Amino acid sequence: MKKINVLVTVLLLCGCRNIGFAQSEYAAKLQPWLGQSADALFAQWGTPATTQQIDDNTFLVTYEQSESQPVDNNLQPYESELSYDAMAVPNYGLPTPPPLFYCQTSFTIQNNIITDYSFNGDDCF
């Protein structure tokens, strides 16, 4: 029984490590944006999905990406996701919608300079 518990723990940690590694890799891609101008961000990333004014000199811009396939085509982090049958909604004979993979990335801009970033989602790579 102890061997099974150890095996399950190792498998869970490996899954968490993959997700944690992907998040730290994405954070490393965002880090160089700190100190850059908002104009450079908009030129590279395009128009944000939302813009929220914080105060006279600070605003938050958010980019959203959703796809039916993971951005990096790596399904491994998702193969062992939990299924919540209690939350299942019947499809009433309609086709089952494809899975949705998303990433939401926000940048805090103060005096036209990027001062912070954050991201959320299961497909931030």
pLDDT for residue 124: 84
Q: Can you tell me the distance from the alpha carbon of 71 to that of 58, in angstroms, rounded to the nearest whole number?
A: 30
User: Any idea of the CA torsion for 66, 111, 52, 100, to the nearest 10 degrees?
Assistant: 10
Q: Can you tell me the distance from the alpha carbon of 117 to that of 105, in angstroms, rounded to the nearest whole number?
A: 7
pLDDT for residue 61: 98
User: Domain range for residue 95?
Assistant: 2-121
pTM for the full predicted model: 0.63
114 burial class (0-12, 13-18, 19+ CB within 10 angstroms)? buried
pLDDT for residue 112: 97
pLDDT for residue 66: 80
Q: Can you tell me the distance from the alpha carbon of 51 to that of 46, in angstroms, rounded to the nearest whole number?
A: 13
Q: Record the tokens describing residue 60, joined without a space.
A: 């938050």
What's the number of domains the chain is made of?
1
Report mean pLDDT in 10-residue bins for the chain, 125 residues: 45 43 80 97 96 96 82 54 54 70 93 96 80
